């Protein structure tokens, strides 16, 4: 779906001149003398974020957008809300990537408006057919943002599962919805996490194949943590810790955005998607500290803390996905506060058991300005998850390395020969920045998609 901030009609579009400091003098020489003199009087510098409007006989005739040395899409992220409402603009040639400009413009135009309209409509940008990949990325990211921003009373496990199924059907995927006794039997850890909620858990599964994908084509398997609200369970969070917990399904939202990009681009792969949709609530039927759960794999887990529920949601999904022997297995989750302490809200933590995949993904993140930071799967901490009454505990008794310990827990459910990527992300903008409004955020998806698109060798069986 084309964003409402773009158009393919250039009638009456006003010129927008993106410019870097090194090219400013040449631009000033090209512009009509009155406009050039006006910009000089204002002291234009072409620094990143600078926007100056060009006067004309009927008002604003154009605008100059400074880029500085910023080559990310977010150099254009402020324009849709800064350019006059109702106006249409065309990008003039310059030292920038048109796809990145289109993406940044669209991401900056985004507002969550289901319950309150935006304060103003965005300006519109003229786009050409070759900007379709940028528009596809914007659409997927905004879908994820909408899911994360939707309040938990409107988006529970059933609604999230339905959103996943609807996405699969839109692209002709085979869809499966697991609930009730089948979920208790096949995904016991998902069922255990959801046992305390009046809203029943679900597992949504999609299988899709690209039009050029043969029977032996690479299988990309995606798993997402979809905890629609997390109270912490009986190990209850403080009220301040629950304020953002509608975003605890951010991993699922990111996985669905990645799946949409893969299917829309018709990558020549087979795709499997598993979303664990659940609410972690407090009630007489909720799982308790020191309960023991038998996982799909047969391993038993002692519940050291009911607020470490995300790894329980994922472990059965990962084990199920691994049984299909995927070429690469990827999971996304808003898993640990420890990752945020280490890396902050804007930098997802990457754990990977395959150095080639990790290198490819880190490079892709740098190239498309969707960064990640690799943390180690440090074997020395594996013993911290030992339990005296079960095969493994879901937490460590030590107050250190929480993100690493969580990743080591998940690693127990993934065979060593399967390339596995685990992303511990925040999925939220604490404050508004250019192209990144406050609220739900889609993180690492552009990097993942770029890596998957560029990895025909790595994806071979």
User: For the segment 75-120, what is each residue's pLDDT rounded down to a tens digit?
Assistant: 999 999 999 998 999 999 999 999 999 999 999 999 999 999 999 9
- DSSP string covering 175-197, please? EEEE-HHHHHHH-HHHHHHHTT-
Biggest CA pair distance of the chain: 82
CB of 54 closer than 8 Å to CB of 14: no
Q: Is the pLDDT of residue 455 over 80?
A: no
Q: Which of these is catalytic: 237, 290, 294, 382?
A: 237
Q: Chain-centre distance of CA 307, in angstroms?
A: 22
Indicate the burial class of 346 (C-beta count within 10 angstroms; 0-12, 13-18, 19 or more): middle
Under DSSP, the state recorded for 212 is: T
237 is catalytic: yes
Q: What is the pTM of this model?
A: 0.97
Nearest-CA neighbor of 209 among 269, 258, 274, 259? 269
Q: Which tokens sit at 13? A: 């579009």
Q: Is the pLDDT of residue 457 over 50?
A: no
pLDDT tens column, 41-50: 999 999 999 9
Q: Is the predicted pLDDT of residue 460 greater than 70, yes or no?
A: no
Q: Are 254 and 427 in contact (CB under 8 A)?
A: yes
pLDDT reported for residue 58: 87
Q: How many CA atoms lie within 13 A of 78 on its CB side?
A: 15
Q: Is 299 helix (H, G, I), strand (E, B) or coil?
A: coil
Q: pLDDT (tens digit, 9 = 90+) per residue, 237-281?
A: 999 999 999 999 999 999 999 999 999 999 999 999 999 999 999
What is the DSSP secondary-structure string of 368-431?
A: TT---EE----GGGGGGG--SSSSEESS-SSSS-HHHHHHHHHHTTS-TTS-EEEEE---EESS
Residue 297 has pLDDT above 70, yes or no: yes
Q: What is the pLDDT of residues 164-221, one digit of tens each?
A: 999 999 999 999 999 999 999 999 999 999 999 999 999 999 999 999 999 999 999 9
pLDDT of res. 3:
74
What are 5's strand-pairing partners? none
Residue 420 contacts residue 400 (beta carbons within 8 Å) = no
Angstrom distance (rounded) from CA 191 to CA 188: 5
**Which 3 state secondary structure label does DSSP give 156?**
coil
**Which domains does the chain possess?**
6-127 (3.40.220.10), 137-453 (3.40.630.10)
Residue tagged active-site, from 311, 340, 436, 446:
311
């Amino acid at each position: 779906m084309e964003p409402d901030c773009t158009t393919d009609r250039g009638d009456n579009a006003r010129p927008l001149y993106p410019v870097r400091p090194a090219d400013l003098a040449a631009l000033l020489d090209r512009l009509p003398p009155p406009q050039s003199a006006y910009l000089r009087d204002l002291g234009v510098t072409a620094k990143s974020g600078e926007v100056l409007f060009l006067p004309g006989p009927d008002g604003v005739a154009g605008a100059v957008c400074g880029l500085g040395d910023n080559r990310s899409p977010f150099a254009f992220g402020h324009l849709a809300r800064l350019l006059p409402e109702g106006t249409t603009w065309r990008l003039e040639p310059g030292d920038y990537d048109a796809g990145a400009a289109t993406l940044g413009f669209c991401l900056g135009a985004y507002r969550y408006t289901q319950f309150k309209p935006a304060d103003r409509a965005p300006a519109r940008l003229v786009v050409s057919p070759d900007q379709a990949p940028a528009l596809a990325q914007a659409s997927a990211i905004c879908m994820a943002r909408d899911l994360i921003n939707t309040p938990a009373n409107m988006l529970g496990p059933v609604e999230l599962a339905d959103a996943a199924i609807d996405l699969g059907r839109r692209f002709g995927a085979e869809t499966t919805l697991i609930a009730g006794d089948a979920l208790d039997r096949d995904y016991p850890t998902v069922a255990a996490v959801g046992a305390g909620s009046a809203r029943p858990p679900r597992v949504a599964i999609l299988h899709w194949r690209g039009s050029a994908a043969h029977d032996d084509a690479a299988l990309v398997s995606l798993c997402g943590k979809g905890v629609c609200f997390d109270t912490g369970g009986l190990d209850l969070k403080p009220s301040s810790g629950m304020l953002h917990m509608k975003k605890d399904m951010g991993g699922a939202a990111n996985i669905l955005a990645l799946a949409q990009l893969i299917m829309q681009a018709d990558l020549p792969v087979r795709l499997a998607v598993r979303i664990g949709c659940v609410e972690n609530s407090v009630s007489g039927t909720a799982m308790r500290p020191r309960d023991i759960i038998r996982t799909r794999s047969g391993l038993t887990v002692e519940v050291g803390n009911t607020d470490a529920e995300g790894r329980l949601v994922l472990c059965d999904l990962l084990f199920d996905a691994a049984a299909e022997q995927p070429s690469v297995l990827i999971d996304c989750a808003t898993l640990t506060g420890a990752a945020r302490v280490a890396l902050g809200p804007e930098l997802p933590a990457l754990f990977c058991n395959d150095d080639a995949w990790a290198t490819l993904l880190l490079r892709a993140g740098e190239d498309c300005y969707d960064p990640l930071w690799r943390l180690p799967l440090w074997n020395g901490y594996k013993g911290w998850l030992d339990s005296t009454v079960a095969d493994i505990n879901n937490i460590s008794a030590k107050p250190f390395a929480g993100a690493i310990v969580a990743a080591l827990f998940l690693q127990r459910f993934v065979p060593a020969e399967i390339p596995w990527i685990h992303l511990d992300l925040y999925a939220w903008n604490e404050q508004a920045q250019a192209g990144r409004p406050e609220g739900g955020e889609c993180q690492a998806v552009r990097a993942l998609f770029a890596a998957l698109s560029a990895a025909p060798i790595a994806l071979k069986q």
